């Protein structure tokens, strides 16, 4: 596959910024390095190695590197685990905690965390720590590629800092758009590759590295590339909050919002993605990126009204789910509640910033006895000690007064509802992700509730 069309999105860019990717770059095996071996970095490192490059992957966490080198599944994505193992075995991918082997690399890809501080301002300390390490390399890499999500101006700041070196590397802002659970597929088949660069030759080298994706390449300046990433995630977050706000109205008006959104989303101007009612968005990216953009607005003296509203609507989802359950059960004190799902979405083990975990905490604070099950999530940070974990979905349901579906794992949608009915002490399923068919739940002799689903004949009351 060749390069997709190249678009320059600057209205009147300086001539030096326009670069057609160099087709001779494709097919050449380069010495590359990736710093930070989490979801983005490990995917980047393994995929670059599979494209035939020699890749040095570096992470500051020795346990993480050891786990990967020993071939233990990283638990991020089964396809990715397999690829990492085969690239390590083939010798194209090597891993360690030392940045030294990145000296003289054609490009170093930086994929370290950029978590939000209390004000939303991203903490860039990991990026600056990497910059300090890059300054020590002799010779320095020729290109530094920022894959982390960083505020507008960060790439320029890094270029100024590295510009003091005798042989300054070109700095490129190249945001990543992959989704957890489908990381490898998304990396190999992106919808677009955004390259924010001041150096046309460096941009051409990077474009040629991505040539086998066949994706359209967007050449622009660094700050624009950085804002593209925040614009994308903030927009997705707004869609989720829109669906949830509409869900509240629909249920009050006696309508099922699921059908409304499906019909609206069939319009290609709207689309169906990120348009389902539920517990709200979570995970390590959407909340922090929305907060970072809100912080950036305020820094410019602007009030991000839509973005603030999207955040507020999202914050209320867990609370309103707990209230719904409280009303249905006549209080939560001493009630047994089964929770299916802890990951922030189906298809990943990641429970960071998960609304499902926030729900467990809120239920425990309201006095409920919670037993949760998730097919992939490991130990959860901030887990309330009063809550229990079950080994499978049916053991979690055993003896519960109500069952809440908190993560959209496909296997929950295929659950044996007759069996669930026989195990539950009560008769309510609160399908907070709208995974099940209400009719199927009712046919199994259970009561169904969910966001945007109207309670039949007025407020829902479960058997107590």
Query: What residues are labeled active site?
Result: 285
DSSP conformation letters of 185-253: HHHHS-S-EEEEES-HHHHHHHHHHTGGG---EEEE-HHHHHHHHHHHHHHHHHHHHHHHHHHHHHHHT
Structure tokens of 183?
Answer: 């990381």
Minimum CB–partner distance for residue 150 and ligand NAD (Å): 7
111 near ligand NAD (CB under 6 A): yes
**Which residue has the closest beta carbon to ligand NAD?**
38
Contact between 400 and ligand NAD per CB under 6 A:
no
Kindly give the pairing relationship between strand 31-35 and strand 107-110: parallel
Contact call for residue 85 and ligand NAD (CB under 6 A): no
Q: Which of 107, 285, 313, 432 binds ligand NAD (CB under 6 A)?
A: 285
Structure tokens at 286: 């959407």
Q: Of 247-276, which residues contact ligand NAD (CB under 6 A)?
A: none
Among 37, 218, 227, 417, binds ligand NAD (CB under 6 A): 37
**178 binds ligand NAD, rule: CB under 6 A:** yes
Residue 145, strand partner residues: 109, 172
Q: By CB under 6 A, is residue 126 in contact with ligand NAD?
A: yes
Residue 291 near ligand NAD by CB under 6 A? no
> According to CB under 6 A, which one of 6, 112, 430, 449 is a site residue for ligand NAD?
112
**Shortest distance, CB of residue 111 to ligand NAD, whole angstroms?**
5
Considering only 129, 263, 272, 443, the residue that binds ligand NAD (CB under 6 A) is: 129
Q: Which two tokens stand for residue 118?
A: 């209390």
In whole angstroms, the minimum distance from the beta carbon of 376 to ligand NAD comes to 15
As a whole number of angstroms, the longest Cα–Cα distance in the chain is: 75
Contacts of residue 354, defined as CB under 8 A and 6 or more positions apart, other chains included, come to 282, 283, 342, 343, 344, 377, 380, 407
Residues in CB range of 396: below 8 A, 6 or more apart: 338, 339, 340, 371, 372, 373, 390, 403
Q: Which of 190, 276, 284, 426 binds ligand NAD (CB under 6 A)?
A: 284
188 near ligand NAD, judged by CB under 6 A: no
* Least Å from the CB of residue 182 to ligand NAD: 10
- Contact between 231 and ligand NAD per CB under 6 A: no
Q: Is the dihedral of CA 155, 161, 162, 163 positive or negative?
A: positive
Query: Is residue 184 near ligand NAD by the rule CB under 6 A?
Result: no
Query: Phi and psi at residue 182, in whole multiples of 5°?
Result: -130, 30
DSSP-based helix, strand, coil % in the chain, nearest 5:
40, 15, 45
Query: For binding to ligand NAD (CB under 6 A), which residues are involved?
Result: 35-41, 58-61, 64, 111-114, 126, 129-130, 148-149, 176, 178-180, 284-285
């Amino acid at each position: 596959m060749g390069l997709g069309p190249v678009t320059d999105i600057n209205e009147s860019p300086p001539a030096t910024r326009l670069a057609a990717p160099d087709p001779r770059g494709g097919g050449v095996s380069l010495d590359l390095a990736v710093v930070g071996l989490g979801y983005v970095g490990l995917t980047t490192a393994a995929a670059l190695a599979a494209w035939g490059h020699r890749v040095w992957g570096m992470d500051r966490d020795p346990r993480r590197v050891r786990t990967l080198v020993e071939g233990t599944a990283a638990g991020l994505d089964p396809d990715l685990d397999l690829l990492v193992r085969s690239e390590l075995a083939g010798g194209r991918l090597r891993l360690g905690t030392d940045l030294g082997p990145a000296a003289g690399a054609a490009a170093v890809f930086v994929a370290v965390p950029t978590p939000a501080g209390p004000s939303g301002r991203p903490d860039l300390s990991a990026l600056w720590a990497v910059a300090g390490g890059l300054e020590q390399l002799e010779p320095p890499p020729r290109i530094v590629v920022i894959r982390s999500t960083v505020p507008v101006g960060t790439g320029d700041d890094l270029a100024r800092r590295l510009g003091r070196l005798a042989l300054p590397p070109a700095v490129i802002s190249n945001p990543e758009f992959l989704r957890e659970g489908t990381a490898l597929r998304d990396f190999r088949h992106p919808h677009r590759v955004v390259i924010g660069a001041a150096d046309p030759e460096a941009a051409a080298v990077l474009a040629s590295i991505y040539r086998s994706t066949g994706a359209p390449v967007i050449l622009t300046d660094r700050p624009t590339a950085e804002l593209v990433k925040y614009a994308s995630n903030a927009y997705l977050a707004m869609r989720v909050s829109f669906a949830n706000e509409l869900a509240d109205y629909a249920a009050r008006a006696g309508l099922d919002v699921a059908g409304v959104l499906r019909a609206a989303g069939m319009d290609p101007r709207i689309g169906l993605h990120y348009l389902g009612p539920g517990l709200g968005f979570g995970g390590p990216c959407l909340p922090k990126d929305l907060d970072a953009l809100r912080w950036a607005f305020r820094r410019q003296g602007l009030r991000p009204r839509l973005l603030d509203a999207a955040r507020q609507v999202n914050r209320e989802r867990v609370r309103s789910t707990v209230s719904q359950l409280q009303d249905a059960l006549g209080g939560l004190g001493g009630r047994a509640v089964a929770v299916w799902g802890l990951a922030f979405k189906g298809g990943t083990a990641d429970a960071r910033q998960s609304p499902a975990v926030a729900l467990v905490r809120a239920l425990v604070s309201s006095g409920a006895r919670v037993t949760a099950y998730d097919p992939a999530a490991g130990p959860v940070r901030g887990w309330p000690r009063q809550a229990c974990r079950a080994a499978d979905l049916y053991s979690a349901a055993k003896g519960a007064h109500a069952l809440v579906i908190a993560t959209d794992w496909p296997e929950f949608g295929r659950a044996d509802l007759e069996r669930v009915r026989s195990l539950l002490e009560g008769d309510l399923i609160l399908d907070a992700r709208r995974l099940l068919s209400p009719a199927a739940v009712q046919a199994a002799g259970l009561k169904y509730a969910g966001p945007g689903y109207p309670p039949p004949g007025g407020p829902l009351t479960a058997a107590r």
